[in-house]
Amino acid sequence: MIPAIKVFFMLVATSVGCDCKSDGWESVVEKTEALVLHRESFRVPKDPVGSEYEASCVRIRFQIDTSGNPINVSIDKSSRNRVIDVAARETLKKFRFRVPQGDSGEEFALVFEYPLRDAP
């Protein structure tokens, strides 16, 4: 088992310079957050040489199926660190959502931040 740093999913990116909710994505992320029924903690495996990863965020875009599962999951804005991106994508796959009314092809997005910081 790979040791992991336990980092909780964060709905709002609070780090200075983290722009995962920019470019018009803030309203999409807020709408998606309102649909979350079950969330998992965001766990990023430790660097094998013991170094710390740089602070970063990941925006993941996806759709929600009729059972409330995320489908067609893709990294929309990368952290530029494969380990963090994969951890965010795998964490999202364990989330469950309230099934939205309307367009079944609607896209949703959530932001994961590494490391978690206390909100101001």
Q: Domains for the chain: give ranges and CATH numbers.
A: 4-114 (3.30.2420.10)
Tell whether the model's pLDDT for residue 64 goes beyond 80.
yes
The better pLDDT of the pair 7, 3 is held by: 3
The model's pTM: 0.76
- pLDDT of 117: 53
Each residue's pLDDT tens digit, 17-60? 467 888 788 999 999 999 999 999 998 888 777 777 888 999 99
pLDDT score at 13 = 35
CB–CB of 85/59 below 8 Å? no
Please check the confidence at residue 119 and state whether its pLDDT lies above 70. no
Q: In which band, very low, low, confident or very high, does the pLDDT at 5 lie, cut at 50, 70 and 90?
A: very low
